[in-house]
Structures are given as C-alpha cells and as structure tokens.
Chain A
Amino acid sequence: KAGVTQTPRYLIKTRGQQVTLSCSPISGHRSVSWYQQTPGQGLQFLFEYFSETQRNKGNFPGRFSGRQFSNSRSEMNVSTLELGDSALYLCASRETGATVQFFGPGTRLTVL
C-alpha cells in the first residue's frame, strides 16, 4: 500500500495570506490527524478527523481549520498567516481502532 502523502512538500507564503495543505491517508484508513512541529514548541496536536467529522481539536486558534472528504482525504487551512505559523505540518493516518499512526513526510510552510 502507498504511504501517507502530503502536498505540497514545501510552501512559502507572506503574512496575512491563507494556505491549504492536503493529506491523503493510507488506503482504508479513515482517521486522519494533523500536527504542527516547530523547534520551539515541538510536536503539537492540531485536530483529528474520522469519517468526515472532527473528533478532537488541540489548543490552536480558530485560524486553523480542517476538513475531511468522503474518500478520507483531508485538508487543513490556515488563514491570516503569521510568522509564527512557519512550521512542519505533519499528517498521520490510522486504521479504525488501531493504536499505531502512520505519518506522512510533512509540508514545510515558511511565512515571510
């Protein structure tokens, strides 16, 4: 099976813009989670989607949002970008009821 894929791999935006990141989970995986990774804060949970419904949300402002489609693909959107949003955004998928997450390679977002 193909692994978790994320597009784009690299992105450069300016402050105030918005951005959409995409994640395709492993075939058959219905749960998708998003994480933000920065040198200062480490890995932080953003949100989790299961069957098109947001099941959990981390402690991030409302500028961060996401959605999941019927084919389990997920997107996350960040509006009104700030310099501090520069980070590696990781997506992970897992099978229903499984304990192991499989991570994608991430999208490196740079905000100038």
Chain B
Amino acid sequence: AQSVTQLDSHVSVSEGTPVLLRCNYSSSYSPSLFWYVQHPNKGLQLLLKYTSAATLVKGINGFEAEFKKSETSFHLTKPSAHMSDAAEYFCVVSDSWKTSYDKVIFGPGTSLSVIP
C-alpha cells in the first residue's frame, strides 16, 4: 500500500540559508513523486515531479529534489531561502497518476517559515 511521510510538520529557516523538507514514501510499484506548494488562501502549485527519468529533479523557483530508491526518500531542497518561500509544502506519491486518482496520496504537509 502507498503512504507518504513528511518527517517535519514545521520547518523554520533564516532568509538566505538552505531549505530541506523531508519526504519518505512507501509504494508497491515504481512510483511517480511530486512536490506541490500552497501559499495561504491559494490552490496548490506544482514545484517538480519525478517519473522514472533522472533521479535529481529540478523544479521552479530554485527548488530541486533527489529520488533515492534505496532510502525511499524524495527530499526537497533549495540552496537559499527567500521570504516568498514561506508556504505549505506537500509531497505526493502515485503508482499510476494517469489511470487512477484514488491511488494518489498526499503527505500531511510541511509548513515552511522564513525568518528575515
């Protein structure tokens, strides 16, 4: 069965310092993995996706994530945090995004705060 664990419910960093948001997943098959961001009172925006191509995935706004099958992890990183990065981040796993939405599992979310 699929599951997603986001290891930190809240992360706080200073502006200009690196960001690390951790995600571990469990999947019976070769999963597709996604990171979405949600700013207050907004919908979700795709940051990046992994679909069995390169294990290091680059996304928008300087974010990237590395798929590590041996560790079943898909951590999100950014070298230097910006105030506008403060938001809720969701790790998402899907065994087959194209065919069955009830197999799409959202993690509980990590709230990122950026201190000036």
Contact = CB atoms under 8 A, between A and B. Distances in A.
A4 B44 CA distance: 11
Interface in A43-101: 43-45, 48, 55-58, 90, 92, 97-101
A45 B104 contact: yes
B43 interface: yes
A25 interface: no
Given A33-B101, A99-B51, A99-B98, A43 B90 contact: yes
Contacts of A4: 43
A90 B98 contact: no
Contacts, number: 47
B100 to A, nearest CB: 6
Main secondary structure on A side of the interface with B: strand
Chain A residues touching B, range: 20 to 34
Contacts of B51: 99
25 contacts: A4-B43, A33-B101, A42-B107, A42-B108, A43-B90, A43-B109, A45-B101, A45-B104, A48-B101, A56-B102, A58-B102, A90-B43, A92-B44, A97-B98, A99-B49, A99-B97, A99-B98, A100-B46, A100-B49, A102-B46, A103-B44, A103-B45, A106-B41, A106-B42, A106-B43
Interface of A: 4, 33, 42-45, 48, 55-58, 90, 92, 97-106, 108
Q: Which 7 A-B pairs have the closest CB atoms?
A: A103-B43, A43-B106, A103-B44, A48-B101, A56-B101, A105-B43, A99-B97
Interface of B: 32, 36, 41-46, 49, 51, 90, 97-98, 100-102, 104, 106-109
Given A45-B102, A90-B43, 17 more contacts: A42-B106, A42-B108, A43-B90, A43-B106, A45-B104, A48-B101, A55-B101, A57-B102, A92-B43, A99-B49, A99-B51, A99-B97, A101-B46, A103-B43, A103-B44, A105-B43, A106-B41
